[in-house]
Structure 1
Amino acid sequence: MTQRVFHFRGATLALQDYNFRWFMLARILATATIQMRNVGSGWLIYHLTDSALALGWVAAAKGLTILITSPLGGVFTDRFEKRTILVWTRVVWTLSAFAVALLIYFDVIRVWHMVLVYIVDGVVIAFMMPAQDTIISDLVDRKTLLNAVSLNFVSQGLMGIFGALAAGYLIESAGPAGVYLGMGLLFSMVTFALLKLPKGGIVSDTQPVTLAQVYGRLVEGLRHVWHSSTLLTLILMGVTFGFFTQSYRTFLPAFARDDLFLSAVGLGILTAAVDAGALTNSLVATLLGDSAHKGKLYLGSGILGGVCLILLANFQLSPAPFVLMFLIGALGNMIQVMNMTLLQSHCDLNMRGRVFSISYLLRGLAPVWLVAAGTLAEWWGVPLVFTVMGVVLVAIYLAIAAFRPGIWRLR
C-alpha cells in the first residue's frame, strides 16, 4: 500500500516565486486592515445606534453596491491588468480610512457617514476581489495553485489575529479613530507592495469596447457558468457560505456585548479566535498538495460549519464561544480555499474574472437577508439568527451532497 508523505518544504512551494512573495506581503498587511475594519466599524456603528437592525441595514448598503457593480468588476478583471486594479482600489481604501479617522477625531461622525463608507467599500470590493482572487493563477502554475491559495489564507489567518486584537485594544486605549488611522497607514504599505508586482498577466482582450460590449461579455460569462453544472453548484455553495459569513460577522458586536457580555477587547479576542482557526486550517491546507479530495473537504466543512454556528447560538458559557469561533474559522477557511481553487481549476482562463464576479454578484443579494436578520435580532436576539443560518447552511450542503454527487468527487 502506498503511503502519502507530507513534506514541510512543499508547504511553501509557491513562495519560491519572487512575484508571489510580494503578493503575499501585500495580503499579509491587507488582512490586518480588514480585520481591524471589521471590529472597528462594527463596534462604532453599534456604539452610535445601539441597534442590531442598524448593523444589518448599514451592511446592506455595501451588499447592494456589490450587487450593482460586481458585473463590471469581473469584466474589468478580464480586460485590464489585475495589478493596476489592485493598486487603485487600495488607494481608495487608504483615503477612506483616513477620512473616517478625521471624522471621529473631530467628533462629527454619524451613521450616514458609515453608510457612505460601506458604499465605497462595496465598489472597491466589486472591482478588487475578482482581480485579487484570479491573479494568483497568473503568478503560479496549476500544480502549485492549491499551495498558493492556502498560503494566501495563511496570511489572512496570521494577520487577522493581529488585526482583530489590535483593533480591540486600540478602541479601548485610543478610540476608533486610532483604528482607522492604523488602517490608513497599513493600506499605504499594501499599495507599495502591490506596485512591486509585474505588469501583464492573462487578459482576454485589450481593444476598446462600448458599454453594450461590456454587458455582452458579462452575458458570455453568465452563459459559461449556466452551461457548467459544476461551476453553477460551486458558485451556489460559495454564495451560501458568503451569506453565512456575513451573518455572524455583521451581528458579532451585538452578540458579544449583549449575550456574552464582552468589552471591545473581548470582541477583538472573539474575532481573533476565528482567524486563529483560519490560520490553523491554512497551515494544514498547505500540506495537502494537489489533494484528490477537494470536493469532500468542501462539503464536509460546510456541514460542520453550520453545526458549529448552531452550537454557538445555544452554548454561551465561556470558553465554549471562543472554541466554537475557532472551529468556525477553521472550517470556513477550508471552504474558501476549496472554493477558490476549484473555481479557478474548472473555468476557462479567459472567463475567470467574470466567473468570480458572478459569484460576488449573487452574494450581493445578502442585504435582503441581513435586513430581515437584523429585524429578527432586534426582536428575538442574535442567537436566533445564528441558529437559522446554521440550519440553512447544513440543509443546503446536505442537499448538494445528495443530489449532486459529482461535487463530492471533485479533485
Structure 2
Amino acid sequence: MSIFRSLKHYNYRLFFTGQAVSLIGTWMQRVAVSWLVYRLTESAFLLGLMTFLSLIPSLILAPLAGSYVDRHNKYKILVITQILLMLQAGALAAMIWFKVYDMFWIAALSLMQGLVNAFDVTARQSLMVNLIDDKEDLPNAIALNSSMFNVTRLIGPALAGVILSTLGEDICFLINFISFIGVLVCMMMMKLKPTAQPKSKENIWIDLKKGYDYLTASPDLSSMILMMAASSLLVIPFTTLLPVFAKDIFSGDITTFSWFESAAGLGAFFGAIYLASRKIGENMQKIVIISGTLLAVAVMALAISPTLITALICTALAALGLMAQTSSINTYLQTHADDVMRGRTLSYYIMAYQGVLPVGSLLMGYFAHQFGTQIVVAFEGVAGLLIVGAFVYYEKHRSHVKDKLSFMG
C-alpha cells in the first residue's frame, strides 16, 4: 500500500522497527512517572514541574543542538544519546525497585532525560532524510514515524495500566530500560552511505546566528514555528493535566488514566495515518489551520465534559488535531528548509514544541492548582482558537504583500 511506501527503504525500516520497540517502553515509563508523582503528592503543580524538567533543556539547548548536529555525524550522535537514555531509564528502574520514592531524584532523572533529548530529537529528525533514498517518500516517512509514535502511545499506556495495577511501577521502568536494546540493535544493522560531514570553521555562535537570520528571512518557516510555540505554551499543556481528570474529576484510578492516554494515542494515530496518505504537494498551511481549530474546540469540550466517555472522545479528537498540527508543521519545515540549514531549522521547531511546552505545563499546572483544572483547560481551548485566528490573519497579510510585490515587479 502507498501509505507504507517509505518502509521499502532498508535503513528507514530498521529505524522504524527499533523506535517502535523502544517507544512502547518510553510511554509506559511516562504513564508510570505521572501516576507515581500524582499518587504520592496529589499535586497538579508537581505534575507540571516534572514535565517542565524533562523538556526545559530543549528550550535552552535546541538551537545549540541543531548547530552541533549540522557539524557532526548524526548517526553517531543518535547512538550515543540512545545509550544515555537507556542508562537514565535503568537508574530510574533501580531507584523505584528499591522503593526510593524521592521526588528530588525523580526530578533529577527527568532533567537528565531532557538534557539528552535536546540532542537526541534533533539528531533523529535530521537523520530522517538520510534514511530515505527517494526524497519524494520523505513526507510519508515523517508521517509514518508520527503514526508509529502514536500507535506506541496507544499500546504503551494500556500495558502500563495493566502492569501498574498488578506488578507495580518498577516493572514499567525495567521494561523501558530493556526496550532500548531493540533500538541499538537496529541501528547497528543499518547500512548508511558514508557522507563527508562539512566542518564549519566558524564559531558555533555564528552558526547559531545564521540559523536565526535564515528563519528571519523565511517568514513561511518562522510563522509555522511561532504558531507551534504559542500552542505549546497555551494549548498543548492540557495533556499534563490528564491524571487530574482521571483521578479527581472522574474519580478513577490508574486504569482510568491509561484510558485517557490510550484515547489520546488512538486519536493521534488516525491523525498520523491521514497525513501519511497525503502527497508532497499538499497545502500544509490549510492542514495546520484545520487541525489547530479541531485541537482548540476539542480541548474546550474536554473541559466541560459531563461524563467519562465524553471526556475520552474529546481527548481523542484533541490528540488527532494536535498530531495533524505538529506533524504537518514538521513536514513543511523538512521539505522547505535548505539542506545546510535543516538541522538548525528543526532545532528551532523542537525548541518551539518541546522547549516551550514545559514552561506552559508549569504555568498551567500552577493555574490549575489555583483556579481549578476545568477552568484552565477551557482557557487553553479559547487560546487555541485565538492562535489559529492570528495565524490565518498573518498568512493572508503575507500573501497579500507578496502578491503586491510580485505585481510591482
TM-score by length of 1: 0.91
Please give the alpha-carbon distance, in whole angstroms, between the structure 1 residues aligned to 2:399 and 2:140: 21
Comparing 397-406 with 76-85, greater Cα deviation is found at: 397-406
Deviation for aligned residue 1:190: 1.4
Question: Structure 1 residues 153, 406: closer, same or farther in 2, change over 3 A?
Answer: farther
Please give the alpha-carbon distance, in whole angstroms, between the structure 2 residues aligned to 1:379 and 1:127: 35
Instruction: Return the letter of the residue paired with 1:89.
Output: T
Q: 1:198 aligns with which of 183, 191, 198?
A: 191
Q: Is the 8 A contact 2:265 2:316 kept in 1?
A: yes
Residue 179 of structure 1 is matched in structure 2 by 172
Q: 1:257 aligns with which of 244, 247, 250?
A: 247
Instruction: Return the letter of the residue paired with 2:159.
Output: A
Instruction: Return the letter of the residue paired with 1:379.
Output: Q
Q: Is the 8 A contact 1:260 1:316 kept in 2?
A: no
SS of equivalent residue, structure 2 residue 76: helix
Q: Is the 8 A contact 2:160 2:258 kept in 1?
A: yes
- Asked if residue 63 in structure 1 is aligned to residue 93 in structure 2, the reply is no
- Superposed, which structure 2 residues align to 1:160-309 within 5 Å? 160-199=153-192, 205-206=198-199, 213-243=203-233, 246-309=236-299
Please give the alpha-carbon distance, in whole angstroms, between the structure 2 residues aligned to 1:308 and 1:100: 34
Comparing 307-316 with 288-297, greater Cα deviation is found at: 288-297
- Superposed, which structure 2 residues align to 1:66-145 within 5 Å? 66-140=58-132, 141-145=134-138
Question: Structure 1 residues 326, 365: closer, same or farther in 2, change over 3 A?
Answer: closer
Deviation for aligned residue 1:191: 1.8
Q: 1:156 aligns with which of 146, 149, 153?
A: 149
Residue 364 of structure 2 is matched in structure 1 by 373
SS of equivalent residue, structure 1 residue 135: helix
Question: Structure 1 residues 306, 246: closer, same or farther in 2, change over 3 A?
Answer: closer
- Asked if residue 384 in structure 1 is aligned to residue 397 in structure 2, the reply is no
Question: Structure 1 residues 113, 193: closer, same or farther in 2, change over 3 A?
Answer: same
SS of equivalent residue, structure 1 residue 220: helix
Please give the alpha-carbon distance, in whole angstroms, between the structure 2 residues aligned to 1:201 and 1:231: 30
TM-score by length of 2: 0.91
Question: Structure 1 residues 292, 369: closer, same or farther in 2, change over 3 A?
Answer: closer
Percentage identity across paired residues of the two chains = 25
Residue 393 of structure 2 is matched in structure 1 by 402
- Asked if residue 317 in structure 1 is aligned to residue 307 in structure 2, the reply is yes
Instruction: Return the letter of the residue paired with 1:25.
Output: T
Please give the alpha-carbon distance, in whole angstroms, between the structure 1 residues aligned to 2:13 and 2:55: 31
Give the root-mean-square deviation of aligned CA atoms: 2.1
- Count of aligned positions: 398
SS of equivalent residue, structure 1 residue 108: coil
Q: Is the 8 A contact 1:81 1:201 kept in 2?
A: no
- Asked if residue 326 in structure 1 is aligned to residue 316 in structure 2, the reply is yes
Q: Is the 8 A contact 1:248 1:386 kept in 2?
A: yes
Please give the alpha-carbon distance, in whole angstroms, between the structure 2 residues aligned to 1:282 and 1:369: 24
Residue 351 of structure 1 is matched in structure 2 by 341
SS of equivalent residue, structure 1 residue 74: helix
Please give the alpha-carbon distance, in whole angstroms, between the structure 2 residues aligned to 1:110 and 1:408: 54
Per-residue deviation, residues 32-56 of structure 1 (Å, max 9, x unmatched): 1232122111111112211111112
Comparing 18-27 with 69-78, greater Cα deviation is found at: 69-78
Please give the alpha-carbon distance, in whole angstroms, between the structure 2 residues aligned to 1:159 and 1:90: 18
Deviation for aligned residue 1:138: 1.8
Residue 6 of structure 1 is matched in structure 2 by none
Question: Structure 1 residues 244, 139: closer, same or farther in 2, change over 3 A?
Answer: farther
Deviation for aligned residue 1:286: 2.2
SS of equivalent residue, structure 1 residue 32: helix
Please give the alpha-carbon distance, in whole angstroms, between the structure 2 residues aligned to 1:17 and 1:366: 33
Please give the alpha-carbon distance, in whole angstroms, between the structure 2 residues aligned to 1:86 and 1:194: 9
Where structure 2 has 5 or more consecutive residues not aligned to the other structure, the ranges are 401-409
Q: Is the 8 A contact 1:401 1:408 kept in 2?
A: no
Deviation for aligned residue 1:395: 0.5
Deviation for aligned residue 1:273: 0.8
Please give the alpha-carbon distance, in whole angstroms, between the structure 2 residues aligned to 1:300 and 1:33: 32
Deviation for aligned residue 1:116: 0.7
Please give the alpha-carbon distance, in whole angstroms, between the structure 2 residues aligned to 1:196 and 1:349: 26
Instruction: Return the letter of the residue paired with 1:223.
Output: D
Per-residue deviation, residues 273-312 of structure 1 (Å, max 9, x unmatched): 1111122222222222224222111111001101100100
Please give the alpha-carbon distance, in whole angstroms, between the structure 1 residues aligned to 2:233 and 2:185: 32
Deviation for aligned residue 1:106: 1.1
Instruction: Return the letter of the residue paired with 2:372.
Output: G
Q: Is the 8 A contact 2:67 2:207 kept in 1?
A: yes
Comparing 244-253 with 144-153, greater Cα deviation is found at: 244-253
Question: Structure 1 residues 281, 201: closer, same or farther in 2, change over 3 A?
Answer: farther
Please give the alpha-carbon distance, in whole angstroms, between the structure 2 residues aligned to 1:408 and 1:282: 28
Q: Is the 8 A contact 1:83 1:195 kept in 2?
A: no
Per-residue deviation, residues 240-273 of structure 1 (Å, max 9, x unmatched): 3333575122221122111122211111111011
Q: Is the 8 A contact 1:167 1:268 kept in 2?
A: yes
